[in-house]
Amino acid sequence: MSEPARTSDTADDDGVVAGLISNARRAMHAFLSSDQARVDEAVTALAWSIYKPEHAVALAEMAVADTGIGNVHDKITKNQRKTFGTLRDLSRAKSVGIIEEQPALGLVKYAKPVGVVAAVTPSTNPSATPVNKAMMAIKGRNAIIVAPSPAGLSTTTRTVQLMREALQTIGAPADLVQVLPAPVTKSLTNTLMQAADLVVVTGSQNNVRNAYRSGKPAIGVGAGNVPVIVDASADLAAAAAKICASKTFDNATSCSSENALVIVDAVYDAAVAALQEAGGFLADAEQKQNIQDVLWVDGHLNRKAIARDAPVFAQLAGLPERASKCRFFMVEEQGVGPGYPFSDEKLSLVLTVYRVADFTAALDKVAEILDFKGRGHSCGIHTQDMDHARKLAEELDVVRVLVNQAHTFGNGGGFDSGLNFTLSMGCGTWQGNSISENLSYRHFLNVTHLATSIPEDKPSEEALFGAYWRRYGK
């Protein structure tokens, strides 16, 4: 873990990865005989390695210092809340031996490891995501090798070191969890993906595409650009409070953070007033242009402006003093697409606001936004009309539709939400992903099906074809 940085070339990459894979397989072999209690003990040890208050604080401080992204307070919360929720989910699940029996079908299901997991992790969550994936991988008695974002390398390396120490404390093989050494390059990460048994990627879409090209089974997640409807029946004060809490969490680094609000005309003025009361600053046309000029440089998000604290962003954008005292910034927009950058993901405390005639127009606008960027990920609605919520679920190509929730806190699992805790959210084939659900321990299991004979279940031809014959003939 403390070896000096190496130079990187193809031959060196092959040797480094071969060593890591060999270590991982030895650790897996030693851990394979573990029963459920022992596995759960190891998972708990990993959870405590980041949940432990002094570790949660130190890693949060390190992450912000390394990456310049987000804020320490919320990263502490993320390190602990996500880990606690994931541990809750995993502690209730079987992942060793017989995990399910279906006597009526004569089926018994046995869990087996998938093997060595290559886990690519992002700079936005350089500590929480590695632990989250490691917990899920070890739950299946796998080994995991983390490929960090270069920007988050120091934080991720320290995180992995803490996980390894936690495994050693309980007498489990430390090499169940490893990390790529510096310098982490695209070549080294690609070499790892090609050598592993399963690749799981959270981060840039280039990494996701490389994972699917690696020749190995891969799970990649998609980009977010969450639009949320404020319906005519919404509790506006409650909606504004939830939107503010969600949008401002860790300075909007989450892919689940609201990027656009689509507000129906009947409550538009009142909704904007509620958002201002909750801490929002509404930019005028000149201020909107200033925000655009600082947030994008040559068509790309400006790393010096994204995920910054509100006073810092307000100063960068030349906004008035009162803006620096607000918690987030709203810009009004009408269009969607390449010519309207505010319709895209912003990774900042900037929230785009659309005014539409009614719910039907709101649904159409959300669909337009998602078709431009974020299709498959998620959307939300604040409403008292569940028919409207169901309409979104029926008609929109998204994996998750959240109703009356703070999107960032509900989308990746919540204590008042049935979605499992995760930091990696699949977006289905709509965004080129292999899963259309939240990543969970189940994705780190192979399953053997023991099938025994049952009484014959063979319906008659009439039962299966009768209705068709009567309508169309034989």
Active site residues: 255
Would you state the structure tokens that stand for residue 288, as one six-digit string? 């909107």
Instruction: Tell me how many degrees the CA angle 346-350-351 measures, rounded to the nearest 5.
Output: 95
Give the distance, in angstroms, between the CA of residue 178 and the centroid of all CA atoms in the same chain. 21
Element spanning 403, H or E: strand 398-403
Element spanning 262, H or E: strand 258-264
Are residues 351 and 259 in contact, defined by beta-carbon separation less than 8 angstroms?
Answer: yes
Q: Which three-class secondary structure state does DSSP give residue 465?
A: helix
Cα separation, 240 vs 271, in Å, equals 7
Are residues 18 and 180 in contact, defined by beta-carbon separation less than 8 angstroms?
Answer: no
Cα separation, 133 vs 223, in Å, equals 18
Q: DSSP for 73-91?
A: HHHHHHHHHHHHHHHHHHH
Would you state the structure tokens that stand for residue 136, as one six-digit string? 């899920």
Cα separation, 363 vs 369, in Å, equals 10
Helices (H), 32-71: 36-51, 53-67
Are residues 114 and 444 in contact, defined by beta-carbon separation less than 8 angstroms?
Answer: yes
Are residues 305 and 294 in contact, defined by beta-carbon separation less than 8 angstroms?
Answer: yes
